Structure formats: C-alpha cells, structure tokens
Structure 1
Amino acid sequence: MLYRLRVSLPDRPGSLARVTQLLGAAGADVMQMTVLERLGGRAVDEFTVEWVGERDVAALVAPLERSTGVRIEGCWAAGEVPGSAPELDVLGQVARDPGRAVATLIDAAPTLFHADWAVAGRGGRGRQLVHTSWRAPEGPALPALTPMRPLAFAYEGDPSGHGAAAPIGASWLTLYVVRHQGPAFHRSELERLGRIVDVVLGVLGERGAARAVGGVAP
C-alpha cells in the first residue's frame, strides 16, 4: 500500500539521507520525495512510500519519531501513483468534454491531493451543491466560505479532518477538498490547487468557463 509521509527535519547535510535510511530499514520503499518548504533552518519534505503487507503503520513512523530533530507532521494513505501525471489527465478530459469541466475537476481532486472527497457548491456549508465526488458525505459540514484565493480550514465534521477551499472563476462557486487523515493542507498544496483551477479555466476559455460554472446557458 502507498502512504504519504510529511516530515519536518533539520535543513542540513545528512538529515535527508538519515530519514530515507530509517524508512528503508523499516521496510519501506521510498518511491518519491517532494520538498515543500525550507525555512528557518528546517525543511518540510513529503515522501511517498510503499509499505507492503498488513503491518501497523506505526512501525513505519516510530523510528523517525525517535530520531533527533525529526518531526512527523502526518502519515496517510496515498491515492496517486508516483510518476503519473494526473493533472494532464484532468486537462485532457476537460478539453474533450468542456461541459463536465467542474465535475471532472471535483472527481479528480481527491486523487490529486491525497484526500478523501471533494465537492463544489455555492452559499457555504454545502448549500446548493453542484457536484460531489465519490465518498463525499451527504450534507457535509462545510464552512461558509467565498474565498478569493485558496485557503485551508479545519473540517467541522471530523476533529482530525482538514480541508482546502478554492474559488472557481468569478462564479461564487467554491471547490472544497477534504481529507480525514494526514496534516493540514500546506501552502504549496494550496498554490497547486489554485494553479490547477486556473489552468482548467484557461483551457475552457472565458465563455467556456462561464458555461461550465453556470454563468451562461450553453
């Protein structure tokens, strides 16, 4: 099974090698590593690892937690196979079927962001839901947001849940992505979410984007 690990570690030579060594010694196969942040003498990295068998995932993170200077910010199941290009798949589907652009974006968001589900709606708190992804709950406890840019929020329906919200064009339509495991959405994830939405709208063009979000009739 694939897992995503977000790790904060000292930003100095040898720290990254030590983390990968500990993961390997625990039996994990490191398949991908992404640097999210380097600030104030520390780095925040995300690892995608393959963890074979039915072993408790605590055995994967325990050696890291015992390592001096290393902090585990989150460990959760990964939905994206490293080396794939899901953003390009989304853009291809949008180009082929512009009328389903919002639905395509919502359906793909959980995989793109290692989340559990996503919805698009107007009016905050899930009122007037336009589209829901697989596994989205009925009547999700969403905050009343009309964000001008992507932002993170604590999901009220689950004490351990985290969400991200982003505007879809100038339509008062908001995209919500929620995960029940793992850490809060990092600012690099929020920036990526905003870029993906912008690129999807750019592929559609001004009139196509208006149609996709319900701005004008087809």
Structure 2
Amino acid sequence: MLLRFRVSLPDRPGVLGQVARAFGVLGADILQVTVLEREAGRAVDDFTVSWSGVLGVDELRERVSVVPGARVEGAWPTREVPGANPEFDLLGHVAADPERAYQTLVDALPDLVSAEWAAAADPATGRVAYASWAAPAEPLPADPPSRPAAFSENARHMITVPLPEAALHLVVARAQGAAFHRVELDRVVRLVEIVSLLARSAVGRTPAQA
C-alpha cells in the first residue's frame, strides 16, 4: 500500500538521512519526498512510502519518532502515485470536454491531494451539484469562507474554494492524516483557476465552434 507520512524535523545535515534509515529498517520504501516548508530551523516534509503492511502503521510512526527532534504529524493512505503527473491528466480531460470541467475537477481532486472526497455545492441552499465517491449528502461546512481556506472542523480537515463563475463552493476533505498544508491549498487554488478558465471557454460555443 501507499502511505503518506508528514514529518517535522530539524533542518540540519544528516537528519533526513536518519529518517530515511528509520523507514528502511522496517522495510518501507520511500518513493517521494516533498518539502512543504523550511523555516525557524525546522522543515516539514511529506514522505510517500510503499509499505507491505506486515506491521501496523504505528510501528512506522514510532520508529521515525525515535530520530532526535523528528515529529510525525500524520500518516494516512494515499492514491497519489509519485511521478504520475495527475494534474496534466486532469487538465487534459477538462480541455477535451470543458462543459464537464467542474465535475471532472471534483472527481480528480481526492487523488491529487490525498483526500477522501470532494464536492461542489450551492453555498446558499447546500444543494450538491457535483460530488466524488464517498462525499456526504451535506458536504459544506457551516458558513464557508468567502476566500480559499484550509482548516479543520468536526474531525475533518478541509480545503474550501469559492467557484464564483459556477455559483458554487468547492470543498475537499479528509478525516485521516494531517491537516491540509498551505502548499496543498495553493495547489488546489491554482488548479481551480485553470479549470475555471477552461470551463469559461465552453460558454457561448456554437455547434460549429465545438
């Protein structure tokens, strides 16, 4: 299985190697390391690892936590395959069929940011326009922010982004793992901006132009 580990560690030479060895001792194969932030003498990294599952995830957490100064902020399953460039696949599908732009975005986002579900709903009525598998019947948080935001509420970690051109509000959520980092929020916002531009290209098309 693929797992995502978010680790906060001292930003000094040798510590990353110690964390890598800690994973290797228990047979976890590191497929990708993503640096989320480096400030105040610490770094926050996301490790994507291939794990046999013979031992529990807690065993891996404990092993990594033995590294001096390292702190595991979250561990959860992911379907984001390193090196697959899923953003390009998403944008390619949207460009091919811009009339389904937002449905395609909602379907793809959970895998793109290691979330569990995504949905787009009317913020005034709560009516769901588009939803991925596993999305709840009422996906929006109470009084969703008017600007893109990442926060936690009712044991869920969420990203919410307004879709003004569609009069909808997008939410991406996970209950497992760490809260969404600002890097993940920025990634979703940029994808929304590009998808919205592609969706706009479908408005007003005549059959001859399609």
Q: Do the two structures share a fold, i.e. TM-score over 0.5?
A: yes
Aligned twin of 2:60: 60
Is residue 201–residue 209 contact of structure 1 (8 Å, CA) maintained in 2? Answer: no
| TM-score using structure 1 length | 0.88
Aligned twin of 2:197: 202
More displaced stretch, 52-61 vs 42-51: 52-61
Is residue 123–residue 140 contact of structure 2 (8 Å, CA) maintained in 1? Answer: no
CA–CA separation in structure 2 for the residues paired with 1:121 and 1:45 = 32
Aligned twin of 1:214: none
CA–CA separation in structure 1 for the residues paired with 2:173 and 2:11 = 30
Matched positions, count: 205
Aligned twin of 1:49: 49
CA–CA separation in structure 1 for the residues paired with 2:24 and 2:85 = 26
Is residue 34–residue 46 contact of structure 1 (8 Å, CA) maintained in 2? Answer: yes
2:178 corresponds to which of 177, 183, 188: 183
CA–CA separation in structure 2 for the residues paired with 1:209 and 1:194 = 21
Secondary structure, aligned partner of 1:52 = coil
Deviations 1:159-189 (A, max 9, x none): 2x21110122444421100001011110011
Poorly superposed stretches of 4+, deviation over 4 Å: none
Is residue 98–residue 201 contact of structure 2 (8 Å, CA) maintained in 1? Answer: no
Q: Percent identity?
A: 45
- Structure 1 pair 210/80, CA: closer, same or farther in 2 (3 Å)? farther
- Unmatched segments (≥5 aa) in structure 2: 206-210
Q: CA RMSD in A?
A: 1.9
Secondary structure, aligned partner of 1:49 = strand
Is residue 126–residue 140 contact of structure 2 (8 Å, CA) maintained in 1? Answer: no
Aligned twin of 1:138: 137
CA–CA separation in structure 2 for the residues paired with 1:56 and 1:209 = 51
Is residue 141–residue 155 contact of structure 1 (8 Å, CA) maintained in 2? Answer: no
Is residue 28–residue 50 contact of structure 2 (8 Å, CA) maintained in 1? Answer: yes
Aligned twin of 1:104: 104
